[in-house]
Amino acid sequence: MDILSGPERRRRWTAAKVAIVNEIYEPGVTVSLVARRHGIAPNQLFHWRKLATQGALTAAGHGEEVVPASDYRALQNQVRELQRLLGKKTLEAEVLKEALEVVDSKKLGRQSRLSDRVRWWGSSVPVRRC
């Protein structure tokens, strides 16, 4: 048992948590055994395992920048807004593409009808010869 004296009453497990949680997955090892080995309560180890599966135990590496949670949330909201706008513009592009196809098909239909009329007028109109 550790006796903590001084102003700090809590132990710091920041780097060791992941290593301790990984011990649980070794064959023949139980959560209670690992908890006893490290002097922690089994429920604490279960909580750490849950955090590890959620990815909450990963820490920033040496030299990596850390941003405040508020900045992170603001950036997430900005990404969501940009994705929404991208979806909206994609939908608009698809609608315009379909409209262009309809216009092109109508033009083709009109051109074929015009060529039919020209052929019809050309064959039925008497031509004067001098």
Whether 28 is in a domain gets the answer yes
Q: Is the residue at 86 inside a domain?
A: no
- In terms of average pLDDT, the best of 8-12, 95-99, 111-115 is 95-99
Can you tell me the distance from the alpha carbon of 93 to that of 33, in angstroms, rounded to the nearest whole number? 61
Return d(Cα 51, Cα 46) in angstroms, integer.
9
Other Cβ atoms closer than 10 A to 49: 19
Contacts of 44 (CB under 8 A, 6+ apart): 35
Residue 38 token pair: 């490290």
- Ranking 7-11, 92-96, 116-120 by mean pLDDT, the lowest is 116-120
**Does a structural domain hold residue 85?**
no
- Report the distance separating Cα 50 and Cα 58, nearest Å: 13
In a domain? residue 119: yes
Number of domains comprising the chain: 2
Under the banding of pLDDT at 50, 70 and 90, the label for residue 6 is low
Whether 63 is in a domain gets the answer no
> Domain of 45?
11-57
pLDDT exceeds cutoff 90 at 93: yes
Which residues are within 8 A (CB) of 39 and not within 5 positions of it... i.e. 6 or more apart? 1, 2
If one compares 82 and 107, the residue with the highest pLDDT of the two is 82
Per the domain annotation, does 20 fall within a domain?
yes
Is residue 72 included in any domain, yes or no? no
Question: Is residue 35 situated within a structural domain?
Answer: yes
Which of helix, strand or coil describes residue 129?
A: coil
Mean pLDDT of the chain: 79
